[in-house]
Copies of this chain bind each other. A is one copy, B any other.
Amino acid sequence: MATATLLACDWGTTNLRAWTLADDGEVVASRDFPFGVARLAAGEAPARFAQVRKALGAREFPAMLCGMVGSNLGWTLAPYVDCPTGFPEIAAGLVDVGDRVRIVPGVRAAGFNGQGDVMRGEETQLFGWLAAEPARAVGRRLICHPGTHAKWMAVDDGRLTAFVTAMTGELFGLLTAHGVLKTDAPADDMAAFDEGVAAAGEGDALAARLFTARARVVGKGKPAESTASYLSGLLIGADVAATSRLLDAGERDPVVLLGDVGLCGLYARALAARGVACEIHDGEAAVRAGLLALWKAVA
């Protein structure tokens, strides 16, 4: 069995996922904790982190933390690095909070109309994926991390040049948990999903297209149990159509989907409906690779 040398943590809004890693990246132990930063009292992060160290037998290890732990809700504010940026700038922006703990900075971009866009955590996943194979740092790529706040990232020769966040997962959650489209039925009806993708058009007029999820049931007699699947297809289809175009998806074919493999599969299906090829890669492995690479850069 490999010997662990690093405590790596993805500390997000709702959860903390921790791994102890060997020098070659092998996972020695892992554990999830229910104390995301949204649940922390002010100043509580160091004490909670001591629990993580103890639970994983990692009291003396150096530690690398990414995600919302670097926001003003977390341990300390790790200032955003501005886009365009690369691995060296992220490594240079690491914040040392003492006790061998470093926090990865987020990234800020120009966004729509100069309103800005931000990420915390996805940069670690992205640069971890890029670092895993030298060939990935060459060429123009479009990388998508689907989720509550989906990130679409344009990468040119290994540097993050632009990104856009779409609230696709959050809209799905809000619409199916509350309001007129509320449903308990699972989103597993692939025919209804495809119907939603087709109804997404070019991703324009989304507020109007969303109402078709109701009209198809009350006006056309489609089963209410298919609403979640239809809505999933509609929202992912609109995301793929509208957001990917902002970053010239057509010129960056194949798209790389990096995240939860099941959710990536739904994005792949919506991309395929538009004739866009993609590859799916596990997001969690990429986060670990990013934390390890950043540690090696500064250790």
A residues apposed to B, CB below 8 Å: 71, 80, 108, 111-113, 115-118, 149-150, 164-168, 170-171, 173-175, 177-180, 198-199, 201-212, 214-216, 218-220, 235, 238-239, 242-243, 246
Q: Which residues of B contact A180 (CB under 8 A)?
A: 149, 167, 170
Q: Return the contact of A116 from the options B115, B149, B167, B215 (Cβ within 8 A).
A: B215
Q: Which residues of B contact A113 (CB under 8 A)?
A: 198-199, 201, 212
Distance (whole angstroms) from the CB of A233 to the closest CB of chain B: 12
Contact A219 B80 (CB under 8 A): yes
Contact A216 B179 (CB under 8 A): no
Q: Which residues of B contact A220 (CB under 8 A)?
A: 115-116
Which single residue of chain B is at the shortest CB-CB distance from A239? B207
Which single residue of chain B is at the shortest CB-CB distance from A118? B219
CA distance A118 to B216 in the complex (A): 9
Please list 25 pairs of residues, one from A and one from B, whose beta carbons are closer than 8 Å in the complex, sorted by A's number.
Answer: A111-B215, A111-B219, A112-B212, A115-B212, A116-B215, A116-B219, A116-B220, A117-B215, A118-B214, A164-B205, A166-B205, A166-B211, A167-B207, A167-B208, A170-B179, A173-B179, A174-B174, A178-B178, A203-B204, A203-B206, A206-B206, A206-B207, A206-B238, A208-B239, A208-B246
Q: If the complex has contacts A174-B174, A179-B174, A220-B116, are A111 and B212 also in contact, measured as CB distance less than 8 A?
A: yes
